[in-house]
Structure 1
Amino acid sequence: MALLDLCNIQKGEYIMGIGMMKSDVGIVAVDNIGYNLALQFRKKGYKVTVCCADVNICNGYDVSGDEHIKSVLNSLSVSEIETAFDIESMVASLESPRKIFLIKRNGIFSEEIYFKMTSCLQPGDTIIDCCDSSFELTEKRGDELRNLGIAYLGVGIAGDEYSALEGMSFFVGGKKSDFENVKTLISAVSSNFQGISCCQYIGEGYAGRFAQMIFGGLEYSILETMSEAVMFLKYVLDFDGEQIHDTLCEWNESELGGYITGVLADIVSCTDKDTGSYITEVVSDKAGYSRNVSRLSSSASELSVPISVINAAVYTRYLSKMTDKRSLAAEKFELKRIKNSQSKEYDEDRLSECIRRSCYLTILTAVSQCVELLLKAEEKYGWSMNIAEVFFAFYAGTVIQCNLMGRVCDNLSIADNFDLPLFAAGDFRNDSEAYILNLRECAVISVEQGLPLPAMINAISYIDCYCGGKLPTGILQLVRNYLGYDSYKRSDRKEAVTTDWNAPDGKVTSVSDDSGAKKSIYHKEL
């Protein structure tokens, strides 16, 4: 039977290529990342059935004119991968207990898919859900399936359609016993770094999704920080693409060296064939973002953990989408700069090293915030994590692989406690103390010249807030007490107090908040 004749076959009647031997694993996919994962399984010797959920044969979709789907089907067929066009047929093709991957980039499968799945599966089967589901949906589906005796793992992934062919990092959440049953299977298609499989069990419930979300935020912050460095080299030091390329190549041999630094070095010297300009001159600054990373801010807020560097990276992408408003504001608003700041002559070598060190400390600060968030989530949700192993999964075989992240893994693996933020702990303390003046200098220059460096400026502010002593929050507590909203704590007393602000001579008295003293409201006329 011809491959494309499948569009005329009734649902459930035929599965392309299925013979007597049943498949080891099923994959429900809609895009290349899922199809390539199937090719990776086949390369490792597993028999695979793919359910092409985007073809929708049962609704009369004609694949004969769809070159992409024809190419996909041909690749799967040539690789001896069986193809099903409905859930029931795919499930029927699998060896029991069944193991099924659901994988969809930046999205989830419908409730209809899950309903069909639950109606076909049996106790002991396992669903490995690698879709971009929310925490709530992960918990809901996990509970529903486990009540039916079906194992459910909510798995975060780091990788794209190309790494799916060679190996991705997997962050697994769910019951550990369920993970152990499929660990060998997942490890077979995970990346391998220094002899270690990048398939890490993170914790119960949606811990895997949470880890993936933090990985995404860290990737955003590294991309933002390095892009800010390119802007600084271009607009402050007036470097052209070749000079920036040479600078980044030098950085790539340093502690800042890594995959993204190398990618940037490749990009900045490229010229546009149509205009002859550097490609960095013609690119729009309008950037997209994933829902997964967008959830990070609200999750951190719920846990009361500041992730200002990561938020700066995400919020900059939000702002980038406001193209028309930003263009109008740039036209109508005079962005005044400090006089003579742009005519200063800088020592290029010294300032280039200054911005390199600023990048390093900014990324280290972002990593510190990720560690704090993971620790708080572990405490709040009752997960039992090995933080060093989580960061190894972030580091190994992913786009954020860099020398700094390798040192992070080493430091986390020997840490006795996490009393200090990572940037102030262990041998990172020496780096931070040595580089902080460089970060301040670059921040000052950017503010003087009106050059946006949101990640770097948020990094220095975070360090100052963390290590600089008293925060302005003490003053705002006094204002709130004056208005009658809250009591406050004094540094010389343990109990909460309130103040009588009516003292005629300005010598106010603080009394215990449980003393029954009446709080005055609005002493000043509005």
Structure 2
Amino acid sequence: MASADIGLIGLAVMGSNLALNIAEKGYTIAVHNRTAAKIDEFVAEAGELRPRIIGKADLKEFVQAIKAPRSIIIMVKAGKPVDDVIEELLPLLDKGDAILECGNSLYTDTQRRFDYLKPKGIGYLGVGVSGGEEGARHGPSIMVGGSKEQWHNAEPVLKAIAAKFNGEPCCAYLGEGGAGHFVKTIHNGIEYADMQMIAEVYGVMRDGLGMNPKQASDVFKEWNKGPLNSYLIEITGYVLEAIDGPTGKPLVELIVDRAGQKGTGRWSAIVAQEMAVPATAIEGAVAARSLSAAKDQRVAAEAIYGKRQAGGADVSLAELEKALLAGKIAAYAQGFAVLAKASEENGWNLPLGTIAKIWRAGCIIRSRFLDQMAATYDKGDNVNLLVAPDFVTIMKDAHPSLRKVVAAGALGEFPLICLSSALSYFDSYRQARGTANLIQGQRDFFGAHGFEIEGRGPGQHGKWPSTLGN
């Protein structure tokens, strides 16, 4: 007899932690894994939660153990493995059942699966889960997209396991198809930018101000008490103070400066380009990770051009703090602008205020000013955050410091690819008359693309020289 409230396939770290979270909240969960031994191991190690976990090595028995209408979470590697699990499940499901894919899938794949399963009467939910392993175990931020009808079947469980902010679950249904995974993708793009900007500020502290990791750690811990209060600022303080046991040296100084990436940040930059929404801070962060991977080339280039001299950064810690704040706001503004455009193009009607709210706890980019962002979007105006009154006040105060830090980076040869991109975006966004008029003239010269003249309308052409000397 079916007795499980929900099912889960895939008992790697994230899946295992989600399953334990669900059981801890009082729900009975059936679990399945391709490797049967992993099921036995997981159940055996579940401790006092074991009575609420039903391990099934046979997929048919696993499905039959779940109460109808069934909600089945799949936590497997994105791509073909997800499609393979769907095909294995399909013959065993009944109309009204739902598959909840909680990995980091490309939102267009989620949309494709949603469209494929809908005519079969099977709901498909693309669920973005942020918070890492710890969040999955104790309360992540959960971004749900897909089948609204079947969302209601899983809603009690998902809201129970989500992080809470002032008692409010950081979990929401955001729209049909790939909406949930799209929002998670942009979340990760903002995360890339946030992390890169923090790293760049650390670089100025290390190379420009001569600070050791412990001194930098103390500064980040102090900053976490103020406007920069956020999860990433908090953990930066801990990362910088960590000591390597075997050597007794600061761990951060031993870690190879080659950053990995799993694709979501790159996807966010790509979709921003596809939608013609400038997201320069996110793009800069992705580029910085790619540059970090070219370690051998960077070592060779330094040998050619010479190593810059340490010190010489004429900036204060207070200016670094404000510069980081301004850069972070620009990155969030870009991310939310991409969300607004995607909502319009896909007919999702994404609730931007709700998105800001469910990012206030559990997720990697949780920060103090998400409350202000939520308040801005709850008014119903999908404006760029740079022109929202609360953020105008902050940016007017902070952008001079960002400008000074970026200038110091240029003069002192500190790479600030993300902070400088954020500053250029801010300056371009607030410039009423830019320089694209020249570009339009150039385009008309070589390709007769035409341009617009105020008062005369579009479709104008210049009288250019017909020939040029070779």
Q: TM-score, normalised by structure 2?
A: 0.94
Structure 1 position 305, deviation (Å): 0.3
> How many aligned positions are there?
468
Please give the alpha-carbon distance, in whole angstroms, between the structure 1 residues aligned to 2:434 and 2:311: 36
Out of 82, 99, 109, the residue aligned to residue 137 of structure 1 is: 109
Q: 1:171-195: CA deviations, max 9, x gaps?
A: 1111323222321122121111111
Out of 22, 42, 57, the residue aligned to residue 41 of structure 1 is: 22
Out of 86, 92, 95, the residue aligned to residue 123 of structure 1 is: 95
The answer to whether the 8 A contact 2:208-2:311 is kept is no
Please give the alpha-carbon distance, in whole angstroms, between the structure 2 residues aligned to 1:472 and 1:241: 43
SS of the aligned residue for 2:462 comes to strand
Q: Residues 490 and 21 of structure 1: is their aligned pair in 2 closer, same or farther, counting only changes over 3 Å?
A: closer
Equivalent residue letter for 1:75: E
Please give the alpha-carbon distance, in whole angstroms, between the structure 1 residues aligned to 2:152 and 2:83: 27
Out of 45, 54, 78, the residue aligned to residue 75 of structure 1 is: 45
Match of 1:151 in 2: 123
Matched, 1:113 2:94: no
SS of the aligned residue for 2:281 comes to helix
Please give the alpha-carbon distance, in whole angstroms, between the structure 2 residues aligned to 1:133 and 1:372: 21
Match of 2:143 in 1: 171
Please give the alpha-carbon distance, in whole angstroms, between the structure 2 residues aligned to 1:46 and 1:70: 19
Q: Residues 223 and 105 of structure 1: is their aligned pair in 2 closer, same or farther, counting only changes over 3 Å?
A: farther
Match of 1:465 in 2: 428
The answer to whether the 8 A contact 1:258-1:402 is kept is yes
Out of 354, 365, 381, the residue aligned to residue 417 of structure 1 is: 381
Please give the alpha-carbon distance, in whole angstroms, between the structure 2 residues aligned to 1:70 and 1:120: 23
The answer to whether the 8 A contact 1:154-1:205 is kept is yes
* Larger RCO (alpha carbons 8 Å, 6+ apart): 2
SS of the aligned residue for 2:228 comes to coil
Out of 181, 184, 194, the residue aligned to residue 222 of structure 1 is: 194
Q: Residues 248 and 380 of structure 1: is their aligned pair in 2 closer, same or farther, counting only changes over 3 Å?
A: same
Structure 1 position 112, deviation (Å): 3.0
The answer to whether the 8 A contact 2:71-2:153 is kept is no
Q: 1:198-225: CA deviations, max 9, x gaps?
A: 1111111111011000111111111111
Out of 483, 488, 491, the residue aligned to residue 451 of structure 2 is: 488
Equivalent residue letter for 1:475: L
Match of 2:409 in 1: 446
SS of the aligned residue for 1:142 comes to helix
Please give the alpha-carbon distance, in whole angstroms, between the structure 2 residues aligned to 1:334 and 1:374: 43
Out of 253, 271, 276, the residue aligned to residue 304 of structure 1 is: 276
Please give the alpha-carbon distance, in whole angstroms, between the structure 1 residues aligned to 2:201 and 2:124: 43
Please give the alpha-carbon distance, in whole angstroms, between the structure 1 residues aligned to 2:293 and 2:11: 27
SS of the aligned residue for 1:91 comes to helix
Equivalent residue letter for 1:426: P
SS of the aligned residue for 2:336 comes to helix
The answer to whether the 8 A contact 1:25-1:98 is kept is yes
Q: 1:451-487: CA deviations, max 9, x gaps?
A: 1111110011001111123323221221121113411
The answer to whether the 8 A contact 1:358-1:435 is kept is yes
Structure 1: 5+ residue stretches without partners: 1-19, 58-62, 503-519
Structure 1 position 71, deviation (Å): 4.0
Equivalent residue letter for 1:434: D
The answer to whether the 8 A contact 1:106-1:291 is kept is no
Out of 336, 361, 364, the residue aligned to residue 396 of structure 1 is: 361
Please give the alpha-carbon distance, in whole angstroms, between the structure 1 residues aligned to 2:369 and 2:358: 14
Match of 2:9 in 1: 28
Matched, 1:101 2:73: yes
Structure 2: 5+ residue stretches without partners: none
Consecutive aligned runs of 4 or more in structure 1 exceeding 6 Å deviation? none
The answer to whether the 8 A contact 2:210-2:310 is kept is no
SS of the aligned residue for 2:369 comes to helix
Please give the alpha-carbon distance, in whole angstroms, between the structure 1 residues aligned to 2:43 and 2:460: 72
Q: Residues 86 and 70 of structure 1: is their aligned pair in 2 closer, same or farther, counting only changes over 3 Å?
A: closer
Matched, 1:241 2:213: yes
Q: Residues 375 and 36 of structure 1: is their aligned pair in 2 closer, same or farther, counting only changes over 3 Å?
A: same
Equivalent residue letter for 1:407: Q
Richer in helix (by share): 2
Larger radius of gyration: 1
Please give the alpha-carbon distance, in whole angstroms, between the structure 2 residues aligned to 1:365 and 1:274: 41
Out of 144, 155, 172, the residue aligned to residue 200 of structure 1 is: 172
Equivalent residue letter for 2:469: E
Out of 293, 296, 311, the residue aligned to residue 265 of structure 2 is: 293
Please give the alpha-carbon distance, in whole angstroms, between the structure 2 residues aligned to 1:295 and 1:485: 34
Equivalent residue letter for 2:208: V
Q: TM-score, normalised by structure 1?
A: 0.84
SS of the aligned residue for 1:403 comes to coil
Q: Residues 342 and 91 of structure 1: is their aligned pair in 2 closer, same or farther, counting only changes over 3 Å?
A: closer
Q: Residues 422 and 499 of structure 1: is their aligned pair in 2 closer, same or farther, counting only changes over 3 Å?
A: same
Please give the alpha-carbon distance, in whole angstroms, between the structure 1 residues aligned to 2:323 and 2:348: 34
Superposition RMSD in Å: 2.1
Structure 1 position 404, deviation (Å): 2.4
Moved more, 158-167 or 430-439: 158-167
Equivalent residue letter for 1:271: I
Please give the alpha-carbon distance, in whole angstroms, between the structure 2 residues aligned to 1:392 and 1:464: 28
Structure 1 position 238, deviation (Å): 1.1
Please give the alpha-carbon distance, in whole angstroms, between the structure 2 residues aligned to 1:105 and 1:239: 41
SS of the aligned residue for 1:127 comes to strand
Structure 1 position 69, deviation (Å): 6.9
The answer to whether the 8 A contact 1:99-1:127 is kept is yes
Please give the alpha-carbon distance, in whole angstroms, between the structure 2 residues aligned to 1:345 and 1:302: 38
